[in-house]
A = this chain, B = another copy of it.
Amino acid sequence: MARIVMKFGGTSVADLDRIRNVAARVKREVEAGHQVAVVVSAMAGVTNQLVAWCQGLSPLHDAREYDAVVATGEQVTAGLTAIALQESGVDARSWQGWQVPVRTDGAHGKARIDRIDGEELIRRMRAGQVPVVTGFQGIGPDNRITTLGRGGSDTSAVALAAALKADRCDIYTDVDGVYTTDPRIVAKARKLDKIAYEEMLELASVGAKVLQTRSVELAMKERVRVQVLSSFQDVPGSLVVDEDEIVEKAVVAGIAYSRDEAKVTVRRVPDRPGVAAGVFGPLAAAGVNVDMIVQNVSADGTTTDMTFTLGRADLPRARKVLDENRDAIGFSEVVADADVAKISVVGVGMRSHAGVANTMFRTLAEKGINIQVISTSEIKVSVLIGAEYTELAVRALHSAYGLDAA
Protein backbone atom coordinates (compact mmCIF):
# COMPACT_ATOMS: atom_id res chain seq x y z
CA MET A 1 0.00 0.00 0.00
CA ALA A 2 1.45 3.33 -1.07
CA ARG A 3 0.54 6.96 -0.76
CA ILE A 4 0.32 8.59 -4.20
CA VAL A 5 -0.32 12.10 -5.52
CA MET A 6 -1.90 11.98 -8.99
CA LYS A 7 -1.72 15.16 -11.04
CA PHE A 8 -3.80 15.73 -14.19
CA GLY A 9 -3.05 18.53 -16.65
CA GLY A 10 -5.47 20.61 -18.71
CA THR A 11 -5.86 18.23 -21.65
CA SER A 12 -6.56 15.36 -19.20
CA VAL A 13 -9.58 17.25 -17.76
CA ALA A 14 -10.66 19.06 -20.93
CA ASP A 15 -14.30 17.93 -20.80
CA LEU A 16 -16.72 15.85 -18.73
CA ASP A 17 -15.76 12.58 -20.44
CA ARG A 18 -12.12 13.12 -19.66
CA ILE A 19 -12.92 14.05 -16.07
CA ARG A 20 -14.82 10.75 -15.82
CA ASN A 21 -11.72 9.04 -17.21
CA VAL A 22 -9.61 10.74 -14.51
CA ALA A 23 -12.05 9.50 -11.87
CA ALA A 24 -11.75 5.96 -13.23
CA ARG A 25 -7.95 6.07 -13.01
CA VAL A 26 -8.05 7.39 -9.47
CA LYS A 27 -10.60 4.76 -8.50
CA ARG A 28 -8.32 2.04 -9.78
CA GLU A 29 -5.49 3.19 -7.48
CA VAL A 30 -7.88 3.50 -4.54
CA GLU A 31 -9.17 -0.02 -5.17
CA ALA A 32 -5.59 -1.26 -5.29
CA GLY A 33 -5.40 -0.17 -1.66
CA HIS A 34 -3.43 3.06 -2.12
CA GLN A 35 -3.97 6.37 -0.35
CA VAL A 36 -4.50 8.91 -3.12
CA ALA A 37 -4.54 12.71 -3.36
CA VAL A 38 -5.36 14.35 -6.69
CA VAL A 39 -4.09 17.66 -8.09
CA VAL A 40 -5.86 19.16 -11.12
CA SER A 41 -5.21 21.91 -13.64
CA ALA A 42 -7.87 24.05 -15.30
CA MET A 43 -9.77 22.53 -18.22
CA ALA A 44 -7.76 23.08 -21.41
CA GLY A 45 -8.36 26.55 -22.83
CA VAL A 46 -10.03 27.96 -19.72
CA THR A 47 -6.95 29.68 -18.32
CA ASN A 48 -6.24 31.28 -21.70
CA GLN A 49 -9.77 32.71 -21.79
CA LEU A 50 -9.45 34.11 -18.27
CA VAL A 51 -6.03 35.63 -19.03
CA ALA A 52 -7.43 37.18 -22.23
CA TRP A 53 -10.23 38.83 -20.26
CA CYS A 54 -7.77 40.37 -17.79
CA GLN A 55 -5.57 41.63 -20.60
CA GLY A 56 -8.58 42.86 -22.56
CA LEU A 57 -9.50 45.17 -19.69
CA SER A 58 -5.98 46.32 -18.87
CA PRO A 59 -2.63 45.26 -20.30
CA LEU A 60 -1.03 46.21 -16.99
CA HIS A 61 -3.68 44.62 -14.76
CA ASP A 62 -3.25 44.21 -11.01
CA ALA A 63 -1.55 40.82 -10.49
CA ARG A 64 -3.68 40.22 -7.37
CA GLU A 65 -6.89 40.53 -9.37
CA TYR A 66 -5.42 38.43 -12.17
CA ASP A 67 -4.75 35.70 -9.60
CA ALA A 68 -8.31 35.86 -8.24
CA VAL A 69 -9.67 35.52 -11.79
CA VAL A 70 -7.42 32.80 -13.25
CA ALA A 71 -7.44 30.63 -10.09
CA THR A 72 -11.10 29.88 -10.75
CA GLY A 73 -10.15 27.47 -13.54
CA GLU A 74 -8.67 24.90 -11.16
CA GLN A 75 -11.46 25.52 -8.63
CA VAL A 76 -14.01 24.39 -11.23
CA THR A 77 -12.02 21.29 -12.19
CA ALA A 78 -11.43 20.29 -8.56
CA GLY A 79 -15.15 20.48 -7.76
CA LEU A 80 -16.14 18.60 -10.92
CA THR A 81 -13.52 15.91 -10.33
CA ALA A 82 -14.74 15.41 -6.76
CA ILE A 83 -18.29 15.03 -8.11
CA ALA A 84 -17.11 12.50 -10.72
CA LEU A 85 -15.25 10.52 -8.05
CA GLN A 86 -18.27 10.49 -5.75
CA GLU A 87 -20.48 9.39 -8.64
CA SER A 88 -18.12 6.45 -9.22
CA GLY A 89 -18.38 5.49 -5.56
CA VAL A 90 -15.12 6.99 -4.30
CA ASP A 91 -15.24 9.23 -1.21
CA ALA A 92 -13.72 12.55 -2.29
CA ARG A 93 -13.77 16.28 -1.64
CA SER A 94 -12.25 19.31 -3.31
CA TRP A 95 -9.70 21.56 -1.61
CA GLN A 96 -8.82 25.02 -2.79
CA GLY A 97 -5.33 26.33 -2.18
CA TRP A 98 -6.52 28.61 0.62
CA GLN A 99 -8.40 25.78 2.28
CA VAL A 100 -5.49 23.31 2.57
CA PRO A 101 -3.79 25.86 3.04
CA VAL A 102 -1.00 26.10 0.49
CA ARG A 103 0.99 29.07 1.83
CA THR A 104 2.98 31.05 -0.74
CA ASP A 105 5.00 34.21 -0.77
CA GLY A 106 3.33 37.43 -1.94
CA ALA A 107 4.67 37.47 -5.51
CA HIS A 108 1.25 37.46 -7.19
CA GLY A 109 1.21 35.83 -10.63
CA LYS A 110 4.48 33.98 -9.98
CA ALA A 111 4.35 33.00 -6.32
CA ARG A 112 6.53 30.36 -4.68
CA ILE A 113 5.14 27.81 -2.23
CA ASP A 114 6.45 28.38 1.29
CA ARG A 115 4.64 25.69 3.21
CA ILE A 116 1.77 23.22 2.92
CA ASP A 117 -0.01 22.02 6.04
CA GLY A 118 -0.66 18.40 5.15
CA GLU A 119 -1.98 17.03 8.45
CA GLU A 120 -5.70 17.34 7.75
CA LEU A 121 -5.33 15.84 4.28
CA ILE A 122 -3.28 12.93 5.64
CA ARG A 123 -5.93 12.32 8.29
CA ARG A 124 -8.65 12.17 5.62
CA MET A 125 -6.60 9.98 3.27
CA ARG A 126 -6.08 7.53 6.14
CA ALA A 127 -9.86 7.52 6.59
CA GLY A 128 -10.28 6.63 2.92
CA GLN A 129 -11.14 10.01 1.44
CA VAL A 130 -9.48 11.34 -1.73
CA PRO A 131 -8.60 15.05 -1.50
CA VAL A 132 -8.83 16.81 -4.88
CA VAL A 133 -6.60 19.86 -4.65
CA THR A 134 -6.50 22.82 -7.03
CA GLY A 135 -3.12 23.06 -8.71
CA PHE A 136 -1.33 26.29 -9.62
CA GLN A 137 -2.43 28.30 -6.60
CA GLY A 138 -2.18 29.08 -2.93
CA ILE A 139 -2.78 31.87 -0.49
CA GLY A 140 -0.37 34.72 0.13
CA PRO A 141 0.57 36.59 3.30
CA ASP A 142 -2.11 39.17 2.38
CA ASN A 143 -4.81 36.47 2.65
CA ARG A 144 -5.44 36.73 -1.09
CA ILE A 145 -5.23 34.00 -3.72
CA THR A 146 -1.86 33.66 -5.42
CA THR A 147 -0.92 31.71 -8.54
CA LEU A 148 2.42 30.08 -9.28
CA GLY A 149 2.78 31.09 -12.91
CA ARG A 150 1.89 29.08 -16.00
CA GLY A 151 2.51 25.35 -15.66
CA GLY A 152 2.61 25.72 -11.88
CA SER A 153 0.34 22.74 -11.28
CA ASP A 154 3.30 20.35 -11.63
CA THR A 155 5.01 22.24 -8.84
CA SER A 156 1.81 22.14 -6.76
CA ALA A 157 1.69 18.37 -7.15
CA VAL A 158 5.32 17.83 -6.16
CA ALA A 159 5.03 20.20 -3.19
CA LEU A 160 1.89 18.39 -2.05
CA ALA A 161 3.61 15.01 -2.44
CA ALA A 162 6.42 16.28 -0.21
CA ALA A 163 3.99 17.64 2.40
CA LEU A 164 1.99 14.39 2.39
CA LYS A 165 5.19 12.29 2.50
CA ALA A 166 3.87 10.50 -0.58
CA ASP A 167 5.72 7.54 -2.04
CA ARG A 168 5.27 8.89 -5.56
CA CYS A 169 3.94 11.84 -7.51
CA ASP A 170 2.33 10.71 -10.78
CA ILE A 171 2.11 13.45 -13.40
CA TYR A 172 -0.50 12.49 -16.00
CA THR A 173 -0.05 14.35 -19.25
CA ASP A 174 -0.53 14.01 -23.00
CA VAL A 175 2.82 12.29 -23.56
CA ASP A 176 3.55 8.88 -22.08
CA GLY A 177 6.98 9.57 -20.60
CA VAL A 178 10.41 11.10 -21.03
CA TYR A 179 12.25 10.14 -24.21
CA THR A 180 15.92 9.97 -25.12
CA THR A 181 15.13 12.79 -27.53
CA ASP A 182 12.21 14.37 -29.39
CA PRO A 183 10.38 11.48 -31.14
CA ARG A 184 9.17 13.92 -33.81
CA ILE A 185 12.78 14.27 -34.96
CA VAL A 186 14.17 10.83 -34.18
CA ALA A 187 11.82 7.94 -34.92
CA LYS A 188 14.11 5.64 -32.92
CA ALA A 189 13.83 7.70 -29.74
CA ARG A 190 13.29 5.45 -26.70
CA LYS A 191 11.18 6.06 -23.62
CA LEU A 192 13.34 6.09 -20.48
CA ASP A 193 12.21 3.88 -17.59
CA LYS A 194 14.14 6.02 -15.16
CA ILE A 195 15.90 9.34 -15.37
CA ALA A 196 17.80 11.25 -12.68
CA TYR A 197 16.55 14.62 -11.40
CA GLU A 198 19.68 16.38 -12.68
CA GLU A 199 19.24 14.89 -16.13
CA MET A 200 15.58 15.86 -16.22
CA LEU A 201 16.51 19.40 -15.22
CA GLU A 202 19.09 19.73 -17.96
CA LEU A 203 16.73 18.24 -20.53
CA ALA A 204 13.86 20.50 -19.42
CA SER A 205 16.00 23.61 -19.50
CA VAL A 206 17.08 22.95 -23.07
CA GLY A 207 13.65 22.36 -24.48
CA ALA A 208 12.28 18.93 -23.58
CA LYS A 209 9.22 20.45 -21.86
CA VAL A 210 7.57 17.49 -20.19
CA LEU A 211 7.73 18.84 -16.65
CA GLN A 212 7.99 22.41 -15.46
CA THR A 213 11.62 23.07 -14.42
CA ARG A 214 10.63 24.37 -10.99
CA SER A 215 8.75 21.17 -10.23
CA VAL A 216 11.85 19.07 -10.99
CA GLU A 217 14.05 21.32 -8.82
CA LEU A 218 11.58 20.93 -6.00
CA ALA A 219 11.33 17.15 -6.49
CA MET A 220 15.12 16.92 -6.35
CA LYS A 221 15.32 19.08 -3.22
CA GLU A 222 12.52 17.18 -1.45
CA ARG A 223 13.46 13.77 -2.89
CA VAL A 224 9.98 13.23 -4.35
CA ARG A 225 9.85 10.35 -6.84
CA VAL A 226 7.99 11.66 -9.89
CA GLN A 227 6.40 9.51 -12.57
CA VAL A 228 5.46 11.00 -15.95
CA LEU A 229 2.74 9.04 -17.70
CA SER A 230 -0.12 9.30 -20.16
CA SER A 231 -3.73 10.05 -19.22
CA PHE A 232 -4.93 8.37 -22.35
CA GLN A 233 -2.90 5.19 -22.70
CA ASP A 234 -2.35 2.37 -20.25
CA VAL A 235 1.42 2.09 -20.55
CA PRO A 236 4.14 2.50 -17.93
CA GLY A 237 5.63 5.99 -17.76
CA SER A 238 9.08 7.32 -16.84
CA LEU A 239 10.28 7.67 -13.26
CA VAL A 240 12.25 10.77 -12.33
CA VAL A 241 14.33 9.79 -9.30
CA ASP A 242 17.56 10.22 -7.42
CA GLU A 243 20.49 8.92 -9.47
CA ASP A 244 21.26 6.45 -6.68
CA GLU A 245 18.04 4.67 -7.66
CA ILE A 246 19.33 4.13 -11.18
CA VAL A 247 21.45 1.01 -11.17
CA GLU A 248 22.66 1.01 -14.76
CA LYS A 249 23.54 4.59 -15.42
CA ALA A 250 23.74 5.41 -19.12
CA VAL A 251 26.65 7.66 -19.98
CA VAL A 252 24.22 9.78 -22.01
CA ALA A 253 20.55 9.68 -21.05
CA GLY A 254 19.24 11.98 -23.75
CA ILE A 255 19.81 14.55 -26.46
CA ALA A 256 18.02 17.88 -26.22
CA TYR A 257 17.81 20.79 -28.61
CA SER A 258 16.59 24.32 -28.48
CA ARG A 259 15.88 26.67 -31.35
CA ASP A 260 15.00 29.57 -29.06
CA GLU A 261 18.61 30.78 -28.93
CA ALA A 262 20.48 33.69 -30.42
CA LYS A 263 24.19 34.39 -30.60
CA VAL A 264 25.70 37.82 -30.01
CA THR A 265 29.30 38.82 -30.71
CA VAL A 266 30.63 42.07 -29.30
CA ARG A 267 33.61 43.00 -31.52
CA ARG A 268 36.87 44.61 -30.49
CA VAL A 269 36.27 45.25 -26.80
CA PRO A 270 39.36 46.42 -24.88
CA ASP A 271 41.29 43.40 -23.58
CA ARG A 272 41.66 44.41 -19.94
CA PRO A 273 40.39 43.30 -16.51
CA GLY A 274 36.75 44.20 -15.81
CA VAL A 275 35.58 44.25 -19.39
CA ALA A 276 33.39 41.14 -18.97
CA ALA A 277 31.65 42.83 -16.06
CA GLY A 278 31.26 45.90 -18.23
CA VAL A 279 29.39 43.85 -20.85
CA PHE A 280 27.35 41.47 -18.70
CA GLY A 281 26.59 43.77 -15.75
CA PRO A 282 24.17 45.99 -17.72
CA LEU A 283 22.61 42.92 -19.39
CA ALA A 284 21.92 41.28 -16.03
CA ALA A 285 20.51 44.54 -14.70
CA ALA A 286 18.09 44.57 -17.64
CA GLY A 287 16.97 41.02 -16.84
CA VAL A 288 18.64 39.41 -19.87
CA ASN A 289 19.74 35.86 -19.09
CA VAL A 290 23.03 35.05 -20.78
CA ASP A 291 23.82 31.36 -21.31
CA MET A 292 27.09 30.34 -23.02
CA ILE A 293 30.01 32.77 -23.05
CA VAL A 294 33.21 32.61 -25.12
CA GLN A 295 36.03 35.11 -25.06
CA ASN A 296 38.69 34.73 -27.74
CA VAL A 297 42.32 35.29 -27.00
CA SER A 298 43.38 38.74 -28.02
CA ALA A 299 45.18 38.82 -31.35
CA ASP A 300 46.91 42.14 -30.96
CA GLY A 301 47.01 42.34 -27.18
CA THR A 302 44.69 45.36 -27.02
CA THR A 303 41.20 44.22 -28.16
CA THR A 304 39.24 40.97 -28.27
CA ASP A 305 35.82 39.60 -29.40
CA MET A 306 33.30 38.40 -26.88
CA THR A 307 30.53 35.96 -27.92
CA PHE A 308 27.55 34.83 -25.86
CA THR A 309 24.13 33.24 -26.33
CA LEU A 310 20.79 34.27 -24.92
CA GLY A 311 17.08 33.59 -25.39
CA ARG A 312 15.99 34.79 -28.83
CA ALA A 313 13.16 36.85 -27.31
CA ASP A 314 15.73 38.82 -25.32
CA LEU A 315 17.75 39.83 -28.39
CA PRO A 316 16.17 43.28 -29.02
CA ARG A 317 16.54 44.18 -25.35
CA ALA A 318 20.17 43.03 -25.28
CA ARG A 319 21.00 45.11 -28.38
CA LYS A 320 19.42 48.17 -26.80
CA VAL A 321 21.34 47.71 -23.54
CA LEU A 322 24.66 47.24 -25.36
CA ASP A 323 24.07 50.30 -27.55
CA GLU A 324 23.29 52.42 -24.49
CA ASN A 325 26.58 51.26 -22.88
CA ARG A 326 28.71 51.47 -26.01
CA ASP A 327 30.93 54.30 -24.80
CA ALA A 328 31.44 52.81 -21.36
CA ILE A 329 32.35 49.38 -22.74
CA GLY A 330 34.21 50.67 -25.79
CA PHE A 331 33.45 48.09 -28.51
CA SER A 332 33.43 48.56 -32.29
CA GLU A 333 30.21 46.72 -33.20
CA VAL A 334 27.61 44.14 -32.12
CA VAL A 335 26.84 41.24 -34.47
CA ALA A 336 23.80 39.08 -33.74
CA ASP A 337 22.73 35.76 -35.25
CA ALA A 338 19.33 34.28 -34.40
CA ASP A 339 19.71 31.44 -36.87
CA VAL A 340 21.33 29.07 -34.38
CA ALA A 341 20.36 26.02 -32.32
CA LYS A 342 21.74 24.60 -29.10
CA ILE A 343 22.26 20.84 -28.97
CA SER A 344 22.97 19.19 -25.62
CA VAL A 345 23.90 15.68 -24.57
CA VAL A 346 22.95 14.98 -20.98
CA GLY A 347 23.78 12.13 -18.61
CA VAL A 348 24.87 11.67 -15.00
CA GLY A 349 27.09 8.79 -16.21
CA MET A 350 29.45 11.19 -17.93
CA ARG A 351 30.82 12.23 -14.53
CA SER A 352 32.76 8.97 -14.54
CA HIS A 353 33.34 8.61 -18.27
CA ALA A 354 35.90 10.45 -20.34
CA GLY A 355 35.46 11.10 -24.04
CA VAL A 356 31.79 12.08 -24.06
CA ALA A 357 32.50 15.55 -25.42
CA ASN A 358 34.97 14.20 -27.91
CA THR A 359 32.38 11.76 -29.31
CA MET A 360 30.07 14.72 -29.82
CA PHE A 361 32.66 16.85 -31.61
CA ARG A 362 33.77 13.97 -33.81
CA THR A 363 30.20 13.02 -34.72
CA LEU A 364 29.31 16.56 -35.72
CA ALA A 365 32.55 16.96 -37.64
CA GLU A 366 31.80 13.78 -39.61
CA LYS A 367 28.50 15.35 -40.70
CA GLY A 368 30.27 18.57 -41.66
CA ILE A 369 28.54 20.58 -38.93
CA ASN A 370 30.51 23.56 -37.64
CA ILE A 371 30.48 24.14 -33.88
CA GLN A 372 30.17 27.84 -33.06
CA VAL A 373 30.25 27.80 -29.25
CA ILE A 374 30.82 25.07 -26.68
CA SER A 375 29.82 24.92 -23.05
CA THR A 376 30.02 22.06 -20.62
CA SER A 377 28.81 21.20 -17.15
CA GLU A 378 29.35 18.13 -15.03
CA ILE A 379 26.53 16.21 -16.70
CA LYS A 380 26.01 18.10 -19.97
CA VAL A 381 27.86 19.12 -23.10
CA SER A 382 26.17 21.80 -25.23
CA VAL A 383 27.16 23.19 -28.58
CA LEU A 384 25.77 25.98 -30.69
CA ILE A 385 25.36 25.17 -34.39
CA GLY A 386 23.58 26.58 -37.41
CA ALA A 387 19.82 26.09 -37.00
CA GLU A 388 19.45 24.23 -40.29
CA TYR A 389 21.58 21.36 -38.93
CA THR A 390 19.35 20.72 -35.90
CA GLU A 391 17.65 17.48 -37.00
CA LEU A 392 20.78 16.10 -38.63
CA ALA A 393 22.83 16.71 -35.48
CA VAL A 394 20.27 15.26 -33.10
CA ARG A 395 19.84 12.09 -35.18
CA ALA A 396 23.58 11.58 -35.58
CA LEU A 397 24.24 12.05 -31.85
CA HIS A 398 21.35 9.80 -30.88
CA SER A 399 22.99 6.99 -32.89
CA ALA A 400 26.53 7.83 -31.81
CA TYR A 401 25.67 7.46 -28.12
CA GLY A 402 23.88 4.17 -28.71
CA LEU A 403 20.43 5.53 -27.82
CA ASP A 404 18.55 4.27 -30.90
CA ALA A 405 15.81 1.77 -30.19
CA ALA A 406 16.41 -1.68 -31.61
Could you list which residues of chain A lie within 8 angstroms of chain B, going by C-beta atoms?
16, 19-20, 50, 53-54, 56-58, 61-62, 64-66, 68-69, 71-72, 75-76, 78-80, 82-84, 86-87, 93-94, 96, 98-99, 143-145
Contacts and interface: CB of A to CB of B under 8 A. Distances in A.
Contacts of A54: 79-80, 83
Contact of A58 (B75, B78, B87, B94): B87
A56 B56 CA distance: 31
A54 B78 CA distance: 11
A76 to B, nearest CB: 5
Most buried by B among A54, A76, A82, A93: A76
A68 B75 contact: yes
Interface of A is mostly: helix
Nearest to A86: B62
5 contacts: A53-B76, A53-B80, A65-B86, A65-B93, A68-B78
Nearest to A58: B87
A99 B143 contact: yes
B69 A79 contact: yes
A55 to B, nearest CB: 9
A61 B83 contact: yes
A358 B54 CA distance: 60
Contacts of A76: 50, 53, 69, 72
Indicate the member of A50, A69, A82 with the most B CB atoms within 10 Å: A69
Contacts of A83: 54, 57-58, 61-62, 65-66, 69
A362 B108 CA distance: 69
Contacts of A66: 79, 83
Nearest to A50: B76
A69 B75 contact: yes
Interface centre among A64, A72, A93 (most CB of B within 10 A): A72
A57 B16 contact: yes
Nearest to A73: B72
Given A72-B72, A75-B72, A76-B72, A82 B94 contact: no
Given A69-B76, A83-B62, A87-B58, A53 B16 contact: yes
A19 B57 contact: yes
A65 B87 contact: no
A106 to B, nearest CB: 14
Contacts of A84: 57-58
A160 to B, nearest CB: 18
B87 A57 contact: yes
A100 B61 CA distance: 22
